[in-house]
Structure 1
Amino acid sequence: MKPAAVYARFSTELQNEKSTEDQIALCRTYAARHQLNVVATFEDKARSGASVFGRDGLMQLMDAARQQRFTVVIVEALDRLSRDMEDLAGIHKRLSFQGIEIQAVHDGVADSILIGIRGLVGQMQREDGAKKVRRGMAGVIRDGRHAGGRAYGYRAVPGKPGELEVVETEAAIIRRIFAAYAAGRSPREIALDLNREDVPPPRGRRWNGSTINGNAKRAAGLIFNELYAGRIVWNKVRMVKDPDTGKRLSRPNPRDEWQSIEAPQLRVVEQSVWEQAHALKAEKSHLASHVKRRAAHLLSGLLRCGCCGSGMSVHDRDKTGKTRIRCSAVRESGSCSNRRIIYLRDVERLVLSGMAKELKDPRLIEIYVRKYNRERERLAGDAIAVRARLEAKRDRIEGERQRNINLVIKYVISENDAKQRIAELMEERLCVEAELAALEEAPVPVALHPATLDRYVQTVNTLAETIASHVGAEDDRGSLIDDFRALVHSVTVHPKGPGEGFEVEVKGKLAALVGGQLFPQAHHSSGSHVVAGEGLEPPTPGL
């Protein structure tokens, strides 16, 4: 009697656990009838036939085949081995190479023709089944029911498939998230607050920024979940199986394939808040990634070491939780001599108090504008000189070209002799004209109107009030960060001697006043009065 192995499989957990037992019993009866000796049985329970991955029983069968433990594999039907044409053909090819025959109870001995036919039929049945499932889910949506998985803020109504009801405790968290996001707080900050308060997340153990922020293309995440606005949306993604790993992956569907229906009973977020949050989301989507990220603290990315010019970063927190900073070059390479560790809040207080005093002084504004105008006048003079040189060169070339044309007209030289030179001169003139066209207009000096200066001082007063109301806050400082960073270009920290504190050099943007990229600078010393410097950073080219 030939040694044989039996393989059985059923697809989902919804099927009867005894399905494999029934298949094995049927195969044993077949083996006895055909005088085959069953020496091993292999089975996979609740495993799809769409892939060979994750099917331990099948892998054990193939390992035993390589060990030549049997010469026949018995299955109830060929689709038990696989419902994929490629996989079924591959199994048949490998078993045939080992000299092992496949026999199906309902089909007989498998050859290449039968493998091809059954592989095609099995795959078509599987794909047809998936289409029918999707058709049924589309019908659920048309009935106003939910066809997806569980959504945070809702639970299934017992005995009513597809119907949801609001979980009020989770709905309150959703409303809080939308209100905070619409107010300008970042997803990471919101997640940090929720984790600090031990609010249970939708999945896992902790909230993440991505849980809230989601993915715009897939419309995933809390911010994009239209259930919260009272709309059921289905068919946003489709599931496909990676042929190399067997894992199911989601792929976004085109928006014109999405299906939706109004479900006002499921709304948990007011329409005005929903629209405000999505308007902010759309506005941020056009920004570069480094602009979208909100600064971790007031001076993030602005701090510079006064000794080496490198950036300064967070070093640690003391026992009370206060943040301390130091030169990044010391940590990365040890190449800087500045070993001082400074409290970040001390630097912030010095910068904020100094900026509030300095920016309100009209005399300093006039100094900045005067220096700025001198620089613009210098650039204007250079631009005029360049333009004059190019115009003279253009006129000289055009004059020579006209003289050659006149010589041809007067028959002094032949047209063939002058043709090449005239073409060269024409090309040179076009190049010069292109250079002239590329020149920017000469910068025009700025004249300060008294009303402009008054408005500027009023703006700084508003900033000063914001500083006064937020400077003591430990966590969120609202609009202060955005307002402040719009005025400041960099903050350089200069350490003094031991026990003598430090100085900060603030370079600010005065573009709002003069319409250009001007960086006035001022020095502020810890423990002393504010000293306004008259230095001026070079304007960027093109002013």
Structure 2
Amino acid sequence: MTRAAIYSRFSTDLQSERSIEDQVALCEAYAAREGLSVTARFEDRARSGGSVLGRDGLMRMMEAAKDGGFEVVVVEALDRLSRDMEDLAGLHKRLTFAGIEIRAVHEGQVNTMLVGLRGLIGQLYREDNAHKIRRGMAGRVRDGLSGGGSAYGYAADPAAKGKRVIVEEEAAIVRRIFESFTGGQSPRAIAHALNAEGIAPPRGRAWNASTINGSATRGNGILRNPLYAGRLVWNRLRMVKDPETGRRVSRPNPESEWQVTAAPDLAIVDAALYDAVQAMKEGRAGVAPRLQQRPKRILSGLLRCGGCGGGMSTYGGDRTKRTRVMCSRHRESRSCPAPRSFYVDTVEKAVLGGLRAELEDPAVIAEYVRAYHEERKRLAAGAGARRASLEKKAAALAREIDRLVDAIAKGAGDPAVLGPRSTALYKEKTAIEADLATLAAPVNVVALHPVVMARYREQLDTLGRALGRGLAGGDGDAAAALRDLVESVTLHPDPARDGGIHIEVKGRLTALLGPGAWPNGVSCGVVVAEARYGRSAHGGEPRFFLRFSA
């Protein structure tokens, strides 16, 4: 007798487990009528027909087909194999190549025309079903019901299906987060405080900045969720299936497609507080994190420990009421190998005076640019060799991917093995192409034009005025001007003098000269200009390095 295998599948956990048994019974009765001997049975429970990925039963059946374990595959209907046109056609092609028929109980022996028609019908059914589900969800949202998902501060109402109720304990944390943010605390500082108090996060083991901050595009995160202000926003995102992996990924929808419904009974914070937070976040968009917090002193956030490289923070004053700074790593874990404390006012005066003394002469900047130019030429030579190596590797990967795709198309290899392999190679090739895109063309000339030098003098004057005001009373303009110029200030004790300090300042050369000083943009880091300063290369924008003592 002709050997046959039965394949059965149902889609979701919401369907009955009996579906598999019913399908198998139907296929066995068909096989008996057709004189087929059932030698194998394969199944996939709660697996969508939208993709062959993740369906272990189907993959085992295809492996057995290559080994000649049967001559016929029996299914209740073709949509049990797949509801995707491409996948169904591929399965039919591979089984036909192996000399295996597909027979459907309700459709009989399957041929190419039937595969095309049923594949089209199955895919249209799946897409139409998705549209109907979205339409039903849109109606629920219009009625103020949940459109899916959960949010911190809410729970499902046990008395009314689809409704939410406020969880007061969590709502108090939400209000605290909003008030702390408007009070000047960063999302990271808020997360640290909540973790220190042992407050359970929405998910995972700990709060982090992204949980609080969220994404403006996706509207997630505590501070971005409009539901806390009594506005239910649905359809911000759509889910699409990646044809390479079979996984669903989210894509943002344009704002014109969002559906907004008032839900005042779900408001946790008042609208004024929510809008104030959004205005603050909008004002900080594109601003570096070092500029987002309001610094308490001129150098707050810029000081680094020379012993371990960690940050430094104030820890009180001495009997003369002078404030001191110490390595934060030492204070928290005693792990700094060379902890020292320094007086803040001494450091501030030394840094501000040193900056003016070292940078007021344009000849100093000209020397930085000359050293930068030499370093760019040196790096460009190495970049050319690296580009050639990456291009060669990308070409080899492209050839290997083409070979695997051809093998799959010709039925010469197992798609379950070759498919993931080609996907991995494609990702590797994409990463190499991204690296190639970041390799900028070498800059031939870096010159100090008159306009650039005018910009330099203007910046120095602005800095001088701001710092003059800042020394008197912690002026905000002074802090902003300094942070625009200085990246870090590292403190080392001077072994030759009791209480003496060696200070290293790393600054942004572009902040003084402006981006127009660098032809073709900036793509690699810099160097230090005079021999007494040493020499160092870094990724990113051009930098200057100063060293002086106090």
TM tier, smaller: 0.5 to 0.7
Deviation of 1:287 after TM superposition, in Å, equals 1.8
Q: Deviations over 1:373-393 (max 9, x none)?
A: 9969x99xxxxxxxxxxxxxx
What is the match of residue 495 of structure 2?
A: 497
Alpha-carbon spacing, 1:196–1:484, altered in 2? closer, same or farther (3 Å)? farther
Alpha-carbon spacing, 1:276–1:458, altered in 2? closer, same or farther (3 Å)? same
* Counterparts of 2:82 and 2:294, CA distance in 1: 51
What is the match of residue 541 of structure 2?
A: none
Deviation of 1:312 after TM superposition, in Å, equals 3.5
Alpha-carbon spacing, 1:483–1:60, altered in 2? closer, same or farther (3 Å)? same
Aligned runs of 1:21-420 on 2, under 5 Å? 21-288=21-288, 291=291, 300-303=301-304, 312-313=309-310, 321=332, 341-343=338-340, 346-347=341-342, 350=343, 352-354=344-346
Alpha-carbon spacing, 1:8–1:436, altered in 2? closer, same or farther (3 Å)? closer
Alpha-carbon spacing, 1:264–1:368, altered in 2? closer, same or farther (3 Å)? closer
Q: Deviations over 1:384-436 (max 9, x none)?
A: xxxxxxxxxxxxxxxxxxxxxxxxxxxxxxxxxxxxxxxxxxxxxxxxxxx99
Residue pair 2:237, 2:253 contacting (<8 A) in 1 also: yes
Residue pair 2:4, 2:38 contacting (<8 A) in 1 also: yes
Which amino acid counterpart does residue 250 of structure 1 have in structure 2?
Answer: S
* Counterparts of 1:185 and 1:242, CA distance in 2: 39
What is the match of residue 394 of structure 2?
A: none
Q: Deviations over 1:58-90 (max 9, x none)?
A: 111111111110000000000000000000011
Alpha-carbon spacing, 1:80–1:318, altered in 2? closer, same or farther (3 Å)? closer
Deviation of 1:101 after TM superposition, in Å, equals 0.4
Q: Normalised by the size of structure 2, how large is the TM-score?
A: 0.64
Q: Deviations over 1:275-315 (max 9, x none)?
A: 221111111113246655899x9665544859xxxx94469
After TM superposition, the structure 1 stretch with the greater mean CA deviation from structure 2, 227-236 or 156-165, is 156-165
Higher Rg: 1
Residue pair 1:314, 1:325 contacting (<8 A) in 2 also: no
* Counterparts of 1:437 and 1:184, CA distance in 2: 39
* Aligned partner of residue 124 in structure 1, secondary structure: helix
* Counterparts of 1:56 and 1:356, CA distance in 2: 66
Deviation of 1:190 after TM superposition, in Å, equals 1.5
Deviation of 1:459 after TM superposition, in Å, equals 5.6
* Aligned partner of residue 160 in structure 1, secondary structure: coil
Which amino acid counterpart does residue 332 of structure 2 have in structure 1?
Answer: G
Alpha-carbon spacing, 1:90–1:291, altered in 2? closer, same or farther (3 Å)? farther
Deviation of 1:179 after TM superposition, in Å, equals 1.3
Alpha-carbon spacing, 1:41–1:440, altered in 2? closer, same or farther (3 Å)? same
Q: How many residues are aligned here?
A: 411
Alpha-carbon spacing, 1:286–1:443, altered in 2? closer, same or farther (3 Å)? closer
* Aligned partner of residue 223 in structure 2, secondary structure: helix
* Counterparts of 1:372 and 1:66, CA distance in 2: 77
Deviation of 1:226 after TM superposition, in Å, equals 0.6
* Aligned partner of residue 280 in structure 1, secondary structure: helix
Deviation of 1:224 after TM superposition, in Å, equals 1.1
Deviation of 1:267 after TM superposition, in Å, equals 0.6
Q: Deviations over 1:229-288 (max 9, x none)?
A: 100000000111111111011111011000011111111012222122111111111324
Which amino acid counterpart does residue 106 of structure 2 have in structure 1?
Answer: H
* Counterparts of 1:252 and 1:489, CA distance in 2: 35
Residue pair 1:140, 1:146 contacting (<8 A) in 2 also: yes
Q: What is the RMSD of the two structures over their aligned residues, measured on CA atoms? A: 4.4
Which amino acid counterpart does residue 501 of structure 2 have in structure 1?
Answer: E
Residue pair 1:314, 1:324 contacting (<8 A) in 2 also: no
Percent identical residues:
46
Q: Normalised by the size of structure 1, how large is the TM-score?
A: 0.65
Residue pair 1:10, 1:80 contacting (<8 A) in 2 also: yes
* Counterparts of 1:486 and 1:9, CA distance in 2: 62
Alpha-carbon spacing, 1:304–1:189, altered in 2? closer, same or farther (3 Å)? closer
Which amino acid counterpart does residue 321 of structure 1 have in structure 2?
Answer: E
Residue pair 1:463, 1:483 contacting (<8 A) in 2 also: no
* Aligned partner of residue 250 in structure 1, secondary structure: strand
Structure 1 unaligned regions, length at least 5 = 327-340, 380-434, 467-478, 510-536, 539-543
* Aligned partner of residue 249 in structure 2, secondary structure: strand
* Counterparts of 1:257 and 1:67, CA distance in 2: 51
After TM superposition, the structure 1 stretch with the greater mean CA deviation from structure 2, 239-248 or 157-166, is 157-166
* Counterparts of 1:243 and 1:284, CA distance in 2: 37
* Counterparts of 2:104 and 2:168, CA distance in 1: 56
